[in-house]
A and B are shown apart, each in its own frame.
Chain A
Amino acid sequence: MKSEKKQSILSIRKLNAWYGDRQILINLSFEVQRRQVTALIGPSNSGKSTLVRCLNRLNDFTLNFRFTGEILFKGRDLYASMVDATEVRMQIGMVFRKPIPFRCSIYENVAYGPRISGVNTSVRLDAIVEKSLRRVGLWDEVEPILDGTPDELSIGQQQRLCIARALAVEPDILIFDEPCGELDPMETPKVEALVRNLKADYTLIFVTNKRRQAARVSDFAGFLYCGELIEFGATEKLFTNPQDIRTEQYVTGKLG
């Protein structure tokens, strides 16, 4: 029990969230384990994106957003007054559904994060860019066109570029919000393999509405339904022996 507690890097406690008067998240509590893949599954509009956007304070910019509860990152309250939100986002990165490379070269896309956090020698930047692109298996494909624009890349390559861009700032946690939502079936396995591979060095949170995908990539999984966390636990258990009837219906495809 004690050793398990030490493994937890992010604790979500009694989280309630609203957009205006509408409650989106209802009393969620769960733990995210270090260097594991935690999947969040659930039908559309169940509040998955809202939840993960709380975790890296991206909802700070949403005007009518409001929440109660606690989110502890390495034991520290993410929303405490002296915590700098930009530092939080540097440590808890995010990859979105739609890959949106910046309007600059492939190299500059990856170098952007390190640059703004103060790395400015070209030797170090070169090393970071190469390392990040290698990590996502894109280096060999893009090495000759590093100075070209990302528009020339396929959507799948662009998504891996966005992952490399997120890795370049060396976050502790990387959140994937439906990273394969826009990708074709040929590209999806590459990203899934990448997620499994990144687990060795990063804590991953993986949002998806494809249950099989969650079963393939994750170690822990939570089932979100209408803003409630119906069930949370080891992926295998959640998929083979769900405790709640709604979870069972969802994983067998009868619900959502």
Chain B
Amino acid sequence: MDKSKIVFHSIALITLVVVFLFFWYLIENTHTEIGQQPTANSQQPTADSHLYLLLPISLLAILLGVACAFYLEERLPPTNWFRRLIESEVAIFTGIPSLLYGLLAVEIFVSYTLGSSGQGWGVLFYAEVLTFIVLVMPLTIRTTQAALRSVATPIRESAYALGASQWQVLSNQVVPLAFPGILAGCCRAMSRALAAAALLMGIHTWGYTHETAISAGIHSRYVLLLVAALLFSTFFSFLKENPT
């Protein structure tokens, strides 16, 4: 059981990394495209590439969310005003169904692609980025905090009683135990981001004529996104079912 768990965790982790590298590669390509002078043909794919920019940004937001949760949970007392502020914001944002975020994203995205004359970075693009960040970060903060909290006080105290410092307790005891839960939260947030991206991609596809879409390989990318989203929610549910 323990071994299969380790294997599964590493698969989830490796997938996260591979997905990250994949999108990173896409960003690299995007950069050259942005620099190009827009033509009637390249306009649409440019907007499309920006979509891929959203996903690595989401991943960064997830990592930031994990760091933020560590800071809130381990460094600040529950009574701290900043922690309470963030926690109540997180509660509000995670309370909003992701469908609404999806609609918001579509709204921005559609006006973005319609309105953009190919010069790329517009206010709307930043609004889109913000939507994605708000989509993933509060969720990550909440799940990471829950995972950290699930490591019982006695195990921390046993380590403290041996003279471990706060940092040592965190890195040697808490993180290994909370890791599956944290990873599950990341997968869930990533699945959310991918699903939203797939939605945008789908909407984008309808804007093309059928042939252009096929030649641009949009359909396959759409499917790829959906599959990735599904994959991550599978990871999430598996990791969630095996609490440590």
Contact = CB atoms under 8 A, between A and B. Distances in A.
7 contacts: A58-B161, A63-B78, A89-B162, A96-B154, A96-B161, A103-B173, A116-B164
Interface of B: 77-79, 154-165, 168, 172-173, 176-177, 244
Contacts of B164: 86, 112, 116
A113 interface: yes
Q: Is the interface of B mostly helix, strand, loop or mixed?
A: helix
Contacts, number: 60
A94 interface: yes
B102 to A, nearest CB: 39
Given A63-B79, A98-B154, A102-B173, A169 B163 contact: yes
Contacts of A116: 162-165, 168, 172
Contacts of B77: 63
B244 to A, nearest CB: 8
A89 B173 contact: no
A140 interface: no
Contacts of A98: 154
A252 to B, nearest CB: 34
Contacts of B163: 86-87, 89-90, 113, 116-117, 169
Interface string A3-34: 00000000000000000000000000000000
Q: Most chain-A Cβ atoms within 10 A of its Cβ — which of B78, B157, B162?
A: B162
Contacts of A203: none
A56 B79 CA distance: 25
Interface of A: 56, 58, 61, 63, 86-87, 89-90, 93-94, 96, 98, 100, 102-103, 112-113, 116-117, 162, 165-166, 169
Contact of A112 (B157, B165, B172, B176): B172
Nearest to B158: A100
A102 B156 CA distance: 10
B160 A166 contact: no
A112 B164 CA distance: 9
B160 A112 contact: no
A98 B78 CA distance: 27
Given A93-B161, A116-B163, 18 more contacts: A61-B156, A86-B164, A87-B163, A90-B162, A90-B163, A93-B162, A96-B161, A102-B155, A102-B159, A102-B173, A103-B176, A112-B164, A116-B162, A116-B165, A162-B158, A166-B161, A166-B162, A169-B163
